[in-house]
A and B are shown apart, each in its own frame.
Chain A
Amino acid sequence: MLFYTPEFLAFSILLLGMLGIFHKSEPRKLILLITSYIFYMWWNPAFILLIIFSTVVDFLIGGRMSDETNKAKRRLLLIASISSNIGMLIFFKYAGLFGDSLLGIMRMMGYEPSWVSLNIILPVGISFYTFQTMSYTIDIYRKEIKATRSRIDFALFVAFFPQLVAGPIVRAAVFLPQLDRGIKISCDQTTFFLIMRGLAKKVLIADNLAIFIDPVFSSPGNWPSVIIWMATIAFAIQIYCDFSGYSDIAIGIARILGFTLPRNFNHPYSARNPSDFWQRWHISLSSWLRDYLYISLGGNRGSAFATYRNLMLTMLIGGLWHGASWNFVLWGLLHGSLLVIHRLYTRMRKKANPEWRAGNDWGTYLISLALMQYFVLLTWIPFRLTGFDAMQVTMRKFVVFDFNFDLTSIGLGNIAFFSTLSLMLIFTVFTIISRRTGHIENYLGQLSTQSAAGVCFVSGIVFYYFWPLSQAPFIYFQF
Chain B
Amino acid sequence: MPDNDKTKQVQALLRPAQLLILIAAILAGILVAQFLTPTVFRASPSDLDRNGYLLDVLASPNHHPEYVVLGNSIAMQGIDTRLLSKDIPGHPLGYNLSSTGQGLTEANMFFTALPDSVETVIHLFYVNQLQGVLVIDEQKLNAMQMFGYRMDQDLKNELIRIYGFNTDELLNQSSAQKAFKSRWALRQASDTLIRDLVRTDRDFDSLRTELYFPSPKSPRLSGKKLRKSYVDTFSKMNKPEFLIYYQGTEHLDSFIKQVKASGRNYIMVVAPLNPAGNEFIPADKLLKATEAITKITQKNDVLLINAIQLLDEKDFFDALHPSVDGAGILTRYIAEQINANAKRYDLKIGNGGEQ
Q: Is A365 within 8 A of B21, CB to CB? A: no
Query: In the assembly, what is the distance between CA of A196 and CA of B123, in Å?
Result: 51
B5, B8, B28, B193: the one contacting A457 at CB < 8 Å is B28
* CB-CB nearest in chain B for A450: B21
A413, A422, A443: the one contacting B47 at CB < 8 Å is A413
What is the distance, in angstroms, from B156's C-beta to the closest C-beta of chain A?
23
Residues of B within 8 A of A454 (CB): 25
- Check: B301 CB closer than 8 A to any chain A CB: no
Binary CB contact string for chain A from 423 to 439 against chain B (1 if under 8 A, 0 otherwise) = 00000000000011111
Q: Is A445 within 8 A of B9, CB to CB? A: yes
Q: Is A453 within 8 A of B21, CB to CB? A: yes
Binary CB contact string for chain B from 23 to 49 against chain A (1 if under 8 A, 0 otherwise) = 111111111111000001000000100
Complex interface residues of chain A between 445 and 472 (CB less than 8 A to chain B): 445-446, 449, 452-454, 456-469
- Check: A371 CB closer than 8 A to any chain B CB: no
Q: Is B34 within 8 A of A464, CB to CB? A: yes
- Check: A192 CB closer than 8 A to any chain B CB: yes
Q: Is A461 within 8 A of B33, CB to CB? A: yes
Q: Is B25 within 8 A of A419, CB to CB? A: no
Q: Is B29 within 8 A of A407, CB to CB? A: no
- Check: B261 CB closer than 8 A to any chain A CB: no
What is the distance, in angstroms, from A192's C-beta to the closest C-beta of chain B?
6
Which of A208, A419, A468 is most buried by chain B, counting CB atoms within 10 A of its CB? A419
Binary CB contact string for chain A from 278 to 309 against chain B (1 if under 8 A, 0 otherwise) = 00000000000000000000000000000000
- Check: B225 CB closer than 8 A to any chain A CB: yes
Q: Is A460 within 8 A of B7, CB to CB? A: no
A416-B191, A419-B187 given as contacts; is B18 within 8 A of A449 (CB)?
yes
- Check: A187 CB closer than 8 A to any chain B CB: yes
* CB-CB nearest in chain B for A193: B22
* CB-CB nearest in chain A for B200: A408
A409-B228, A413-B47, A416-B187 given as contacts; is B26 within 8 A of A460 (CB)?
yes
B5, B26, B193: the one contacting A442 at CB < 8 Å is B5
Q: Is B22 within 8 A of A453, CB to CB? A: yes
Q: Is A192 within 8 A of B25, CB to CB? A: no
Residues of A within 8 A of B193 (CB): 418
A186, A189, A419, A459: the one contacting B29 at CB < 8 Å is A459
- Check: A267 CB closer than 8 A to any chain B CB: yes
Q: Is B7 within 8 A of A438, CB to CB? A: yes
* CB-CB nearest in chain A for B40: A465
- Check: A190 CB closer than 8 A to any chain B CB: yes
* CB-CB nearest in chain B for A362: B1
Residues of A within 8 A of B29 (CB): 456-464
Q: Is A437 within 8 A of B187, CB to CB? A: no
A464-B29, A467-B183 given as contacts; is B4 within 8 A of A192 (CB)?
no
Residues of A within 8 A of B11 (CB): 188, 190
- Check: B309 CB closer than 8 A to any chain A CB: no
Residues of B within 8 A of A266 (CB): 3
Query: In the assembly, what is the distance between CA of A393 and CA of B5, in Å?
Result: 41
Q: Is B191 within 8 A of A189, CB to CB? A: no
Query: In the assembly, what is the distance between CA of A466 and CA of B30, in Å?
Result: 11
Q: Is A407 within 8 A of B1, CB to CB? A: no
Complex interface residues of chain A between 178 and 213 (CB less than 8 A to chain B): 186-190, 192, 208
- Check: A270 CB closer than 8 A to any chain B CB: yes
Residues of B within 8 A of A270 (CB): 1
Q: Is B14 within 8 A of A464, CB to CB? A: no
A407, A416, A435, A460: the one contacting B30 at CB < 8 Å is A460
A189, A267, A461: the one contacting B10 at CB < 8 Å is A189
Residues of B within 8 A of A461 (CB): 29-30, 32-33
Query: In the assembly, what is the distance between CA of A93 and CA of B241, in Å?
Result: 36
Residues of A within 8 A of B300 (CB): none
Q: Is A418 within 8 A of B12, CB to CB? A: no
Query: In the assembly, what is the distance between CA of A454 and CA of B1, in Å?
Result: 33
Interface size on A, residues (CB 8 A): 49
Q: Is B30 within 8 A of A464, CB to CB? A: yes
Q: Is B183 within 8 A of A464, CB to CB? A: yes
Residues of B within 8 A of A326 (CB): none
Residues of A within 8 A of B1 (CB): 270, 360, 365, 435
A208-B187, A417-B191 given as contacts; is B7 within 8 A of A446 (CB)?
yes
A190, A412, A469: the one contacting B9 at CB < 8 Å is A190
What is the distance, in angstroms, from A419's C-beta to the closest C-beta of chain B?
5
What is the distance, in angstroms, from B203's C-beta to the closest C-beta of chain A?
13
A419-B191, A453-B25 given as contacts; is B12 within 8 A of A408 (CB)?
no
Residues of A within 8 A of B186 (CB): 465-466
B6, B14, B31, B47: the one contacting A192 at CB < 8 Å is B14
Q: Is B198 within 8 A of A435, CB to CB? A: no
* CB-CB nearest in chain A for B198: A407
- Check: B257 CB closer than 8 A to any chain A CB: no
Residues of B within 8 A of A190 (CB): 9-11
Which of B6, B13, B187, B199 is most buried by chain A, counting CB atoms within 10 A of its CB? B187
Q: Is B27 within 8 A of A460, CB to CB? A: yes
Q: Is A188 within 8 A of B5, CB to CB? A: no
Residues of A within 8 A of B7 (CB): 437-439, 442-443, 446
Residues of A within 8 A of B205 (CB): none
* CB-CB nearest in chain B for A421: B194
A417-B195, A438-B4 given as contacts; is B228 within 8 A of A188 (CB)?
no
Q: Is B195 within 8 A of A465, CB to CB? A: no
Binary CB contact string for chain B from 225 to 248 against chain A (1 if under 8 A, 0 otherwise) = 100100000000000000000000
Q: Is B26 within 8 A of A456, CB to CB? A: yes
Which of B1, B33, B186 is most buried by chain A, counting CB atoms within 10 A of its CB? B1
What is the distance, in angstroms, from B5's C-beta to the closest C-beta of chain A?
4
A189, A418, A443: the one contacting B14 at CB < 8 Å is A189
Q: Is B10 within 8 A of A446, CB to CB? A: yes
A186-B13, A449-B18, A457-B26 given as contacts; is B187 within 8 A of A466 (CB)?
yes
Q: Is B12 within 8 A of A189, CB to CB? A: yes
Binary CB contact string for chain A from 27 to 64 against chain B (1 if under 8 A, 0 otherwise) = 00000000000000000000000000000000000000
19 A-B pairs with C-beta separation under 8 A? A188-B10, A188-B11, A189-B14, A208-B187, A266-B3, A418-B194, A419-B187, A422-B190, A442-B7, A456-B26, A457-B26, A460-B25, A460-B27, A460-B28, A460-B30, A460-B31, A465-B183, A465-B184, A469-B184
- Known contacts A416-B191, A435-B3, A438-B5; can you find 19 more A-B pairs with CB under 8 A? A188-B14, A189-B10, A189-B18, A189-B22, A267-B3, A408-B199, A412-B191, A436-B4, A437-B4, A439-B5, A442-B5, A453-B21, A457-B25, A460-B31, A461-B29, A465-B186, A465-B187, A466-B187, A467-B183
Q: Which 8 pairs of residues, A with B, have the shortest CB-CB distance? A: A460-B29, A442-B7, A456-B25, A438-B7, A464-B33, A418-B194, A453-B25, A438-B5
